[in-house]
Structure 1
Amino acid sequence: MMDQIDTQLLNLLQRKGNATAQELADTLGLSASQIGRRRQRLEDSGVIRTYRAQLAPERVGLTVQAFVQVQLARHGAEQGRSFDQMLRTRDEITSAWTMTGEADYLLRVWCEDLPALNRLIHEVLLAHPTVARVHSQIVMGQSKADAPLPVR
């Protein structure tokens, strides 16, 4: 069970994952040791999965973001495993979801430029034996940044 302090702690950590126990304690009005125990419990229970640095894509040479819909030709277990395995080998595919509707997968992709996106689509995705169709949409701008989960 999580209480209101746990919820506040999670919201703070989603916004600043590298906050020290003392910084969190000062904000929440608890001791650093209490915060440390709470954070450890949330990590051990799997509520907190990991901590990451959020990079500025343009500062690391990534100028093209796209969402790519993939429709598979066949939907057997082996084809799904094969496609999923390929996804895990491609660093430029930063996330992938299986979907209902026309597309079987939705991929979030970051590439250094348009030719790199073109190579990914034609030489990797369309070349995969189970892929029937690919539809890409290039991101022009992001109206809302990736937000923390709405923990209440």
Structure 2
Amino acid sequence: MAGTKLDAIDRRILAALQEDAHTTMERLAEIVGLSPSPCARRVRQLEAAGVIKRYVAVVDQDKVGLPISVFASIRLERQREDELDRFAKAISRWPEIVECYLMTGQRDYLLRIVVKDLPAYEAFLKRTLTRLEGVASIESSFALSQVKHSQALPVE
């Protein structure tokens, strides 16, 4: 796995696990065309190499009472390394922020924030983002509906 060279079987394993990580090793082996022992060995190698980071349950945000997704574009006053690090460390503490990307272009960061309603976002904005030192501007956009959402990478 050094250099993360993936062959066709590795890619089939990854595609199958991305579809259902709860599948049995026997079923996974059947899907990818191996016997269970070599399949399990391949999965362990993918895990050891960091290709498979972890296994998680994908939770429906509507069903847990967090139907609102807000995309916040953040521009910092300065883009020095220490300022970027301070911002990244600060936002990592807040569970409402489920995704954060350092961006190119006019904004420095793009955040995806999930909340139960608009008053909850307003409270989050006022008590957290607007209080961060070094933030020059915040522009919020609200998702009307989710057209596509996938955790699966196109490995095949």
When the two structures are superposed, what TM-score results if normalisation uses the length of structure 2?
0.92
CA contact (8 A) 1:95 1:107 kept: yes
Other-structure match for 2:52: 48
Aligned length: 152
Distance 1:75 1:21 in 2: 47
1:15 aligned to 2:32?
Answer: no
Other-structure match for 1:125: 129
Distance 1:78 1:30 in 2: 49
Counterpart amino acid of residue 129 in structure 1: E
Identity %: 34
Distance 1:59 1:17 in 2: 21
Structure 1: gaps spanning 5 or more residues: none
The CA deviation at 1:59 is: 1.6
RMSD (CA atoms)? 1.2
Distance 1:66 1:50 in 2: 26
Distance 1:151 1:77 in 2: 33
The CA deviation at 1:36 is: 0.5
The CA deviation at 1:20 is: 1.3
Task: Note the 1:72-111 alignment, pairs <5 A.
Answer: 72-111=76-115
The CA deviation at 1:22 is: 0.8
Structure 2: gaps spanning 5 or more residues: none
The CA deviation at 1:147 is: 4.6
Counterpart amino acid of residue 23 in structure 1: R
Other-structure match for 2:72: 68
CA contact (8 A) 1:126 1:132 kept: no
CA contact (8 A) 1:92 1:109 kept: yes
CA contact (8 A) 1:64 1:138 kept: yes
When the two structures are superposed, what TM-score results if normalisation uses the length of structure 1?
0.94
CA contact (8 A) 2:16 2:31 kept: no
Question: Deviation string for 1:31-68 (max 9, x for gaps)?
Answer: 11111001001111111111110001122111211111
State which drifts further: 23-32 or 86-95: 23-32
